[in-house]
Structure 1
């Protein structure tokens, strides 16, 4: 429940006796309250659907829907509202039943106005107390989550160091072996070797992939040892095409349609191409996983005077509203243990914010997901 201006109590009086109701309203108005009025339980519930209230003063004995039934309906549909029951001297049992049904208190008629006034303030104080408890609980949960994330990131730092070491060692061996093979193939006595050019081209691809894998391990260590971006003038459309080529196996397997929503031209941006490639690989891979056969991935590039906006959209399974706010959290994943680590989108968000950019996501279950990445056209002035 949100706090309203000035903490003024929003009060509703419900009684079928118009004269009594109006008299109570006038006397409360002299004490600074401005109560709304309803003449029946049905009118009360209708009014509550359109006009939020804090406290309802409710007569028990009314024709049609009586006060107890009205109270139960209020507690079902508006659980934060506090209800004070008014009952006749001969119907104290109704007040007791009301307390059992969730009423804040009950008063007997004829009611003493100052007593009613104080009881309304007490009921509102209970609302404020409950709101404070909720805020404290939310803050504690947020703090506990942050502590858990910090512990996870500390563990991830240790894990990352080990992973990078384990990956870099075989990469170095592969790189050295590729270099030896290349020297042999380029020797004069190998000039007549059949398909020598194809073999050398394959070795070039191996060396390029080794460098790319090395960059990935550096990014993996980025949260342990902060590294500034390596800026270069980059054609974003070409970078996306290169990423699609890397992922062509998954695209072809599912017969995915690639739809470009931008004109064929250069879209130049000063940024870190290695980090942006990692972002694109993660987002397009996620889109592939979200699609069935013959699904569509739509790609767009839009430029403003200061920014370039990249769009990656799929018409796949979508993300539930419950999960949408968690997708950038470390280790959060809806995939099975062997299919996802929950780090992909966490790394994506870290990279984009590190480049002074922004990332937004919109998704609807069964309709698909769109990621929008906003990057400054010239990141040269960013803080290192």
Structure 2
């Protein structure tokens, strides 16, 4: 940016010959307007400008995008402006008249600074993910150790309670108890005990299933056929709520390399969640896309959605928003673990009141799994 058109045009032409794609501006206001439409990596500013000067323009640029590198041009007698610019976030400054080779060198240095900052950010993000993964691994290992002991300890008294509840039920159902006034109340109490036993047994079963890694049997799996099969188990609920199932699965994009039994468990869990999330006459959309190595299945519903504050927790063990009788909080945790064992990934997006989408990414062939 420079208000002297001849100087500005000459610099732009020479930079163009060096492989850069310069965009010219004659004022600070015009420079900011251009940056609002088209962000730039490096900006060269003349400090002495009519109206909005170079220092003010620099501050406005940095306020908008801290990553943009700014090189200031100052007069020989205005080195103090360059120093002030450095304090305000400029990459560096040059004094006029500017040698084109010196300017090109400074621009290349600015681009190198951008590259280094991006690498630094990527490294930081990678380390954060690695640390989180290590923490999760340690946490899950401790859960696994605990789970085995807890499950076995709970199963023994559950068996005794279940046997006693069955005996009580037989006694209450006998002809001798037919006139007992509290018979119905006792029967309801016993049924509550039995339901609680079933729920506790389900938790211990899932805990043991989490601890013991299954032996996987990989083969080519037709994802569409597996979805049809899974929906068959939910047809009653789908019919009762008159849910509309939209199939948008490409016949050429429905084969994955996976364990059909484990994948069926994943689909059953996610589809069951979708069926329960939508209201009457709701819809569930199934679609596929692919990359060179992977197939991506999207299961999308227009149900109640998941609050933003819960999205990061839904794959955690024992996290659930369902009532005591409805959920154990292990379903999506198990789903996440299975997908990882199948060399895949699972992601989720959701908006409250609009619905939820789960994305399952799995290898298409055994080769892409290596």
1:319, 1:370 → 2: CA distance? 10
In the TM superposition, what is the alpha-carbon distance from 1:16 to its structure 2 partner? 1.0
Contact 2:47 2:74 in 1 (8 A): yes
CA distance in 1, matches of 2:2, 2:361: 61
Q: Please tell me whether residue 261 in structure 1 is matched to residue 237 in structure 2.
A: no
Match of 2:7 in 1: 20
Aligned to 1:223: 210
Report the Cα distance in structure 2 between the residues aligned to 1:309 and 1:131, rounded to whole angstroms: 31
Q: How does 1:311-326 map to 2 (within 5 A)?
A: 313-315=302-304, 318-320=306-308, 324=311, 326=312
Contact 2:302 2:354 in 1 (8 A): yes
The TM-score, its normalising length taken from structure 1, stands at 0.66
Q: 2:316 aligned to 330, 333, 336, which one?
A: 330
Deviations for 1:17-37, whole angstroms, at most 9, x for unmatched residues?
Answer: 110011112222333333221
2:93 is aligned, of 106, 111, 130, to 106
1:211-360 matched pairs, under 5 angstroms: 213-227=200-214, 236=231, 239=234, 260-262=242-244, 300=283, 313-315=302-304, 318-320=306-308, 324=311, 326-330=312-316, 345-350=332-337
The 1:75–1:301 alpha-carbon spacing in structure 2 relative to 1, beyond 3 Å, is closer
Q: Is the 8 A contact 2:42 2:111 kept in 1?
A: yes
Gaps of 5+ in 1: 1-13, 244-257, 264-269, 288-294, 377-384
TM-aligned CA distance change 1:53 to 1:332, over 3 Å:
farther
List per-residue Cα deviations over 1:52-91 (Å, max 9, x = no partner). Answer: 3211111011112111111001101021111110011122
Provide, for residues 307-362 of structure 1, a one-character-per-residue CA deviation record: whole Å limited to 9, x for no partner.
Answer: 9987655447x422x764x2344369698xx9x99756323434577799986644
Work out the CA distance in 2 between the residues paired with 1:240 and 1:153: 35
1:76-120 deviations in Å (ceiling 9; x for gaps):
102111111001112222111111100011111111221111111
Contact 1:297–1:313 (CA under 8 A) maintained in structure 2:
no
Aligned twin of 1:29: 16
Whole-angstrom distance in 2 between the partners of 1:33 and 1:204: 78
Gaps of 5+ in 2: 217-225, 246-259, 289-295, 363-370
1:57 lines up with 2:44 in the alignment: yes
Asked if the contact 1:297/1:315 (under 8 Å) is kept, the reply is no
| Displacement after TM superposition at 1:223 (Å) | 2.3
